[in-house]
């Protein structure tokens, strides 16, 4: 029963990711921008922490949207997740605004995204 509840929370969480993207792209009539992704990540990260949704589940929810082809994120897969996350936060100006728990979660999500990207490339080798 607890596993079913957790699965329902995860599905609800994944649906919220898709809904937020749809709102920005359809209602605001513009593509997602880096700031949108980060703001959404912070909001959903807080929710994930409250609902005990793990980094792997978050990464699996957003990977198809971010990099379903397995090509774009591949160039970042070999950068340590902590360094990549800190650079991303610095670049976007969020390094001073994000809570430490969210930074930790974001590092874990980036690490999981990197694993998924590497596994995707290994399963679908790119032509030479």
DSSP letters, 71-115, are STGGGGTTS-HHHHHHHHHHHHT-TTTS-HHHHHHHHHHHHHHHH
Give the predicted TM-score (pTM) of the model.
Answer: 0.67
Most confident of 1-5, 34-38, 100-104, 123-127: 100-104
pLDDT of residue 82: 94
Question: What is the average pLDDT across 99-125?
Answer: 83
Name the band, by pLDDT with cuts 50, 70 and 90, for residue 91: confident
Q: What percent of the chain has pLDDT over 70?
A: 76
Q: Is 126 helix (H, G, I), strand (E, B) or coil?
A: coil
Please compute the mean of the pLDDT values over residues 10-15 and round it to a whole number. Answer: 73
φ, ψ of residue 12 to 5 degrees: the values are -65, -40
Q: How far apart are CA 68 and CA 81, in angstroms?
A: 19
Predicted local distance difference test score (pLDDT) of residue 88: 81
What percentage of the chain has pLDDT greater than the value 90? 6
Residue 63 is predicted with a pLDDT of: 77
Residue 70, pLDDT > 60, answer no
**Which residue, among 100, 92, 111, has the nearest Cα to 40 in the 3D structure?**
92
């Amino acid at each position: 029963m607890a596993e079913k509840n957790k699965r329902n929370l995860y599905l609800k969480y994944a649906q919220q990711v898709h809904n937020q993207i749809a709102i920005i792209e359809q209602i605001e009539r513009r593509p997602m921008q880096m700031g949108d992704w980060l703001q959404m990540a912070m909001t959903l990260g807080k929710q994930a922490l409250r609902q005990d949704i793990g980094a792997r589940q978050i990464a699996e929810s957003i990977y198809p949207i971010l990099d379903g082809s397995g090509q774009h994120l591949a160039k970042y897969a070999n950068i340590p997740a902590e360094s990549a996350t800190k650079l991303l936060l610095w670049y976007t100006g969020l390094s001073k605004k994000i809570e430490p728990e969210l930074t930790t979660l974001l590092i874990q999500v980036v690490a999981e995204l990197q694993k998924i990207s590497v596994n995707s490339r290994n399963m679908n080798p790119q032509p030479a």
